[in-house]
Structure 1
Amino acid sequence: MKDKILYWFGADFTHFCSSYYLQKSTDAELYAIIDITNKPKSFFENQTLVKFNKIWFFHDHIKKNTKPDLDYLADFEKKYNIDLLKLAINERMFYRFFDFHNFSTDEILSIVEQECRLFEKVIDEIKPDFLITKEASRHHHQLFCDLCNSIGIKVIMMSQAKIGYKCMLSKESHKFPFPESFNSLQTSNFTFEEIQKYLKSFNVSKQLKSYLDREGGSLKEFIKSVFEYLISDNSHSQTQYYYYGRTKISVLKSFIKSNLHRRQRKSFIDNNLLKKIPKRSSYVYFPMAVDMERNLLITAPYYTNQIETIRHIVKSLPVNYELYVKENPNAASRDWRSIDEYKEIMKIPNVKLIHPSANVEKIYQNSSLVIAIAGSSAFEAAAYGKPSIIFSDQIYDILPSIFKVKNLEDLPELIRKALQTKVISSDVGRYLNLLKKNTFDFDILGFSATFKDKFYHGGNLLDVSISEEKLKDFLMEQKDALEKFTLEHIKRINWYKENVQNKN
């Protein structure tokens, strides 16, 4: 019997490109749920590059103005042990971050209900063996991944490892595919200097900066994208809830407002945040996460108010410690925070607000403890011999020097325990060996930037027509990288078949 492989495709075409090469190496039935805007939809309707047994366009199944069935949603939650409101309230389009439309509670629950019904229908119809997907950044994508995991579909989720230019495949984002106890890991004689050198060679911040520097492309591409947008019919503003309320006038106003805010906020940052690290023998470091990103909204759903989290930390510190809070340099991609938010942080007693350009290596070296909500900072701290505390499940929390907050009331005691913890370089080295074992070379951000440059005017406009001939040329240009990427997926499929199915 042929394997049934279900893909999740979005505006990122990485896995579609991979499916082109996977079909050449496996005799499987291929299916896809496609979360895409109107113009690229025609590409999937007509393309002949990959043969799919069936595809579903996500937005075709989400209609306006339907009354939610709360009994159905409650039964769904119980049946699959999935908290729907935890996902829905943290959806960036539904609450806090979307200025074009105010979603009512009924609208939100109606959308979620239709998503649940679609996902159950797809699974009941084809009964897939595997789901291949990138890590989810939106509530409905995460919902589908959670549903597949709940009912035993073998999920192969690609995520970027906590080091640069490497990816991993597992059933959940940033989780090792093969759980191992720390004591069973291969021993290591790495020194802290060797560990730091290794991390610098795979610098995730450098990789992200390179990606963000390419975002938007050239001025020529920007002008072309504006012209194409202005002459487009903009019909998805009526059919896709991502675009509710997005008229051309409102988008233009938002663009002007966004640019104005970005400049004003950067000016405030440059004039008010500390660029030189104050000389202090005892401080705890808190790196801020970027709002409106998966790291907060999905990974740490109960810690999305970072100002409140800072207050919790300050109240929990020993009296002889200060808290140094550093703005994330990648917050520029979200137009920074409001000036009022920066002022609020600066008002909190015993807090120093640090400029995003400050040397993070020196901060690690001179800190006593790092506390982070998510991200890679806690792991990087271990490389500098510093213990850390995190507020969410992370791939590196297997390290003995990293502590997770399970109850906020225990935070003062946890901080004191962490401050007394010595980081052992061989422990960090053992973790690095585990990371090397479970990752492979693939610059997902570089690949995505290259695709955006070629098809999305540098990322300025996603609702574009995509030529099959042009995409086939791209597949040939990226052949070596895509074949290696696809081979890793085939290896994981085979591992599942040999190790999981034989046990059932």
Structure 2
Amino acid sequence: MNFLIEFTTRNYKVRNSMAIHLKKLYPGSRFGGIISAHGAIKKYLESQKEVGYEFLYDITNIQEEFLKEDVPIEEIKDFEESIPGKSLWRFVAVDREWGYQFIKGSIPVMYFSKKRVNYENIQRIVGGYSRFFKKVLSGFNADVVIFMLGAHSVQAPILEQVCKNLKITYISPAITKIQNYFSITSNKEMLFPQIKEAYLKNIQGELVTDSSPGEKSYEEMHSSLKNKNSTYYFDQGDNYVKKLKANKGFSFIYLVLKRIATTFLHWYQLRTLEKQKAGKSSRYSFKSLLYFNYYNLYKVYQGRKLLKKSFYDTYNPNEKYIYFPLHVVPEYALLVRGNMWINQLFIIENLAKSIPLDYKVYVKEHPGTIGWRVRPFSFYKEIKSYTNVKLIPPYLDNHQIIKNSQLVITVTGTPGWEALLFHNKPVINLCEDFYEITGLSKRIHNIADLSKEIQSEIKRISEISTEERKRRIVCLLNAIIINSSWADKPLRVLGEEDAPVSEQEVMDAGTLLGNEIGKYLDRLQN
């Protein structure tokens, strides 16, 4: 079996360990790698002896090569025709640089020349990636591509589509948001067809399984909700807010000086790494240093503003309201999974026009925005401009807001699952999510129907008994558990852990990941 593996700055050691284990599971396998990362990762992978990679392509600066090429317009048109949505602009919108014009409600994270982001260059980038991936995968005769979730780049959806066109298995480990379980997804949207299939067979009586693991998981997660010191899955929760509140004791001047120093140090490290790899540093110029300082100082100022109670409307738990939690922008859940709903102001406007007259829309900022991303203040001003919309603080208890709401509407993400799992609330999704299969939420396809869907969904969910809700949720939990593995440190297995990890811990994580991939591939073949 021929494995092509994507390596990044964080995951390369765990994924190399995974490759070592896959080599044992599938003797005679061949391995290749694509690297998109800072640092001497290629050197590390070439120097280790356990896996002989036939090639390791570092594509960190490959876009500069694409921009020198002619626009392959016929190839682009043929490739676009193979896409289900029939438009490559949806792929472009995923990218933080080339699709910046689609990313509303956010100030760009990195400096780039807007003159460079023009129509012809976008075509060169799209054509370059599709041509490159097709050449690499065909030449290697790849059977499996193990991709990296979380990439905000046009390369991610292009790689997936090339794999589909060449009938190559495309997979990645992903969290399930069920305690510490992780599974294997076969798409960039982090959906799990194997879990969906198991649920349908289970609920219809075609698959007889012991329901006790699902019931145990259900009870443990509900118990964790009552325990304020634990979480129902390993997510970081409101760490961003905690850090910022801890900084409130420092003066604004101190935080500004600290941010300038850390920005320069980070820029210098990245610039040095890029010069070592490419001989020059086009992305980390002095203009980019000035921009990073502007961005990070704005972040300090905005963080202080967003932690002030006076910035927000008053939260009234006794008021009838629809809850809409904001997504961080740019971020994978919105740019990739919720690709057609990136403009959250558009959603809020339509909600304001669709709720019953005696309702309000409660909008809460994502805690991760504070100290991580920056929005223009005009974004908040527009939200506040609607008389039936309230902007409430990000540090309020999310569960209490859900519990007191009449309905939760999300693009995708955790609050919809929490509303369904813990609070028996109606949920409307704008994109498909893993729990949709239970029939305890509703995905809308036409925004013009939103007003009717809100009222009908509130009524429909109220008619489902507590016992029936639990039966469906437990069935879903069982389907997840039999198609997943438990990890004591899920972020380590996914290659996303920040803390230093020992060599033994890397090997253990790689072995666990390799076993889960092996189980998934064996099921595909049977």
Q: TM-score, structure 2 length as denominator? A: 0.80
How big is the alpha-carbon RMSD for the aligned residues of Structure 1 and Structure 2? 3.3
Aligned-pair distance for 1:146? Answer: 2.7
Among 166, 180, 194, the residue aligned to 2:181: 166
CA drift of 1:395 comes to: 1.1
Q: In structure 2, what is the Cα distance between the partners aligned to 1:343 and 1:412?
A: 24
Mapped contact 1:101–1:244 kept (Cα < 8 A): no
Match of 1:313 in 2: 351
Q: Which moved more, 1:30-39 or 1:85-94?
A: 30-39
Residue 223 (structure 2) aligned to one of 189, 197, 206: 197
What letter is aligned with 1:175?
Answer: L
> After superposition, where does 1:15-164 map in structure 2 within 5 Å?
15-27=15-27, 28-37=29-38, 39-59=40-60, 61-62=62-63, 63=65, 64-79=67-82, 81=84, 83-96=87-100, 97=108, 98-102=110-114, 103-137=117-151, 138-164=153-179
One-letter amino acid matched to 2:446: N
Q: Is 1:485 equivalent to 2:484 in the alignment?
A: no
Matching residue's letter, 1:372: T
CA contact (8 A) 1:291 1:334 kept: no
Corresponding residue to 1:436 among 454, 478, 481: 481
In 1, distance between residues paired with 2:43 and 2:204? 51
Query: 1:352 Cα deviation (Å)?
Result: 0.9
Q: Distance in 2 between matches of 1:224 and 1:338?
A: 23
Distance 2:234 2:323 in 1: 18
| Unaligned runs of at least 5 residues, structure 1 | 455-472, 500-504
* Shift, 1:431, TM fit: 2.0
- The corresponding residue for 1:389 is 428
Are 1:369 and 2:407 an aligned pair?
Answer: yes
In structure 2, what is the equivalent of residue 426 of structure 1? Answer: 471
Structure 1 residue 332 corresponds to structure 2 residue 370: yes
Are 1:7 and 2:5 an aligned pair?
yes
> Conserved in 2, the CA contact under 8 Å of 1:157 and 1:169?
yes
Describe how 1:270-281 pairs up with structure 2 within 5 A: 270-271=307-308, 272-274=310-312, 277-281=315-319
* Larger CA deviation: 314-323 vs 17-26: 17-26
1:284-330 per-residue CA deviation (whole Å, 9 max, x = no partner) reads 11111111111111111111011111111111111111111111111
Q: How many residues are treated as equivalent by the alignment? A: 471
Q: Is the 8 A contact 1:5 1:31 kept in 2?
A: yes
Query: Which whole-Å CA distance do the structure 1 matches of 2:330 and 2:144 have between them?
Result: 29
Instruction: Using structure 1 for the length normalisation, give the TM-score.
Output: 0.83
Mapped to 2, the partners of 1:427 and 1:222 lie a distance apart of 49
**Structure-2 separation of matches of 1:448 and 1:492:** 16
The whole-number CA distance in structure 2 between the counterparts of 1:194 and 1:60 is 47
Deviations 1:190-241 (A, max 9, x none): 89876532667653474355699899xxx9x96995496288274389799x
Which range moved further: 103-112 or 223-232? 223-232
- In the aligned structure 2, how far is the partner of 1:150 from the partner of 1:202? 41
Summarize the Cα distance change of 1:267–1:80 in structure 2 as closer, same or farther, 3 Å threshold: closer
Aligned equivalents of 1:304 and 1:29: distance in 2?
39
Using the TM superposition, name which of 473-482 and 366-375 deviates more: 473-482
SS in 2 for 1:478: helix
Deviation at 1:347, TM superposition (A): 1.3
C-alpha distance 487-279 of structure 1, shift in aligned 2 (>3 A): closer
Following the alignment from structure 1 to structure 2, what is the Cα–Cα distance between the partners of residues 425 and 234? 53
Render the CA deviation track for 1:73-112: whole Å, top value 9, x for unaligned.
Answer: 0011224546322111331121332432221121121011
| Percent identical residues | 22
Distance 1:448 1:120 in 2: 26
What amino acid maps onto 2:287 in structure 1?
S
